[in-house]
Structure 1
Amino acid sequence: MMVKVTPTVFVKEEGVYRERLELYEAFVDRVQLDVADEEFCLAPTLSVRQLLEVPSILARDVHLMVSEPVTHLPVCAEYGAGVVTGQIEQMSDQKEFAREAERLGLKAGLAVDLETELSELNWSVAKEVEQILVMTVAAGKEEQKFNRQALEKVRQLRNKGFSGEICVDGGVNEDTVVFCVRAGADLLAVGSAIWKATDAKAAYEQLSRLATAAPGKLQ
């Protein structure tokens, strides 16, 4: 399976968001919108509606780092979001989240925070979702140091037979790409390593090349 790189958008101001969309529309077709409330950060991001109501040619996945992610699914469906992933730590019921996403015609994903063990996943639900997102930093904060130990969760998911998309999110850059790919990830969510680069397109293309050229996955 080809490993893909998708830029993330973690913003608190609409002007910055529009600039970021314009930047990415020039060289990608898919981004991940990060939505965080006060449970995750002192200065919350723009809301799901504020993000999705801005027109864009990009396919937009949504990573919900919010209390009770299920309550945000109707807005995601209203605006035609792609994969919608919620932090399991903030869910009362993982099954309810997945079922509601399906009812609304959305592709569901489950996200596991840095300190959360895979045993917290409801496997009967997790094995059927579109995506499992593994955080390699603490959710809701930018520019943290990559935690390589978290990649053990990726290996465990593959060993358990998860056949969906495994996304690694947090601290992914030119130095850490190879570890993510070798662990079994097939989607890399990248923030500042792209948008802070002098040439964002070149940075994205280099990360994509590194992901494609990375050595075979570890068993």
Structure 2
Amino acid sequence: MVKIAPSVLAADFNCLYEEIKRVESEADLLHFDIMDGQFVPDITFGPVVIASLRDKFNLPFEGHLMVANPTQWIVPFARAGCNIITIHRESCGDPHQLIALMREKGVKAGVALNPDTSLDSLENILSEIYLVLIMTVNPGFVGQSFIREVLPKIRNLRQVREEKSLSFEIAVDGGINEETAGEVVEAGASVLVAGTAIFHAPDPQKALLKLKEAGSGSKDSAEKNRS
């Protein structure tokens, strides 16, 4: 089954608890885009926000660190309650040290790649991480259009995973809706991060279920084609 991670950045901040509560029962995890105003222009969630929500929801929290200095933020967000922390390959010189720090703090390690970043940058760390997050928009803003040219990267990553007999999740973030969900799952994605398509819909829970159905149908079709 395809996993859906609602991206909380697209929710209404005036009623954040209520917004998340509307999708909690059908979501598989919650995705928090953490921006520092340096790696990307905007500033969003701090550890205090994560901590204030942590005991109210049983879902895993993923902290997506869109920050210039991830070393500074791994421990605070781990303490705040993130179960998964995803760092950007573009913002870290030696990811091995950061992955080791995440493991030490009891969180699962993820690594994100911007649309133009090559899979070669992950070559020596794939066996160490829980999740690879492929960006299908340029990071930093909600509601951008899906970059279809990234689809071959997802396919290639799936192939590498199969060839090396690894088990990391392939997550995709950016422009995910009912149409693109099927495309990325067919390419190899197992986790769909979606914000606008869920929280801006008249019925967010129904929108989430439609995404899951679109993704799951494509996954079944892709598996039949590969068998």
- For normalisation by structure 2, the TM-score amounts to 0.87
Is 1:108 aligned with 2:114?
no
Q: What's the RMSD between the two structures over aligned residues?
A: 2.1
The higher-RCO structure (CA 8 Å, 6+ apart) is 2
Find the counterpart in structure 1 of residue 134 from structure 2: 134
Partner of 2:148: 148
Alpha-carbon distance between aligned partners in 1 of 2:41 and 2:107, rounded to the nearest angstrom: 29
Q: 1:210 and 2:211 equivalent?
A: no
- Counterpart of 1:124 in structure 2 is 124
Report the alpha carbon displacement of residue 29 of structure 1 after superposing the two structures with TM. Answer: 4.9
Q: Which moved more, 1:70-79 or 1:90-99?
A: 70-79
> Which residue number in structure 1 is paired with residue 93 of structure 2?
92
Displacement of 1:141 after TM fit? 1.2
How many residues are treated as equivalent by the alignment? 217
Distance 2:63 2:159 in 1: 26
Q: CA separation in 1, counterparts of 2:188 and 2:25?
A: 29
Where structure 1 has 5 or more consecutive residues not aligned to the other structure, the ranges are: none
Is 1:181 the equivalent of 2:182?
no
> 1:96 corresponds to which letter in structure 2?
Q
Write the distance in 2 (CA, Å) between the matches of 1:143 and 1:14: 16
Report the residue type matching 1:59 in the other structure.
P
More helix by share: 2
Distance in 1 (CA, whole Å) between partners of 2:38 and 2:12 is: 19
Q: Residue deviations 1:168-206, cap 9 Å, x none?
A: 000000111111011101000011000000111110111
User: How far off is 1:149 after superposition?
Assistant: 1.3
Aligned-pair identity in percent equals: 31
**Could you tell me how far 1:158 is from its partner in structure 2?**
1.6
- The one-letter code sitting in structure 1 at the alignment partner of 2:31 is Q
Distance 2:19 2:11 in 1: 12
Whole-angstrom CA distance in 1 between matches of 2:127 and 2:33? 23
TM-score, normalization by structure 1: 0.90
Residues 148, 203 of structure 1: alpha-carbon distance in 2 compared, 3 angstrom cutoff: same
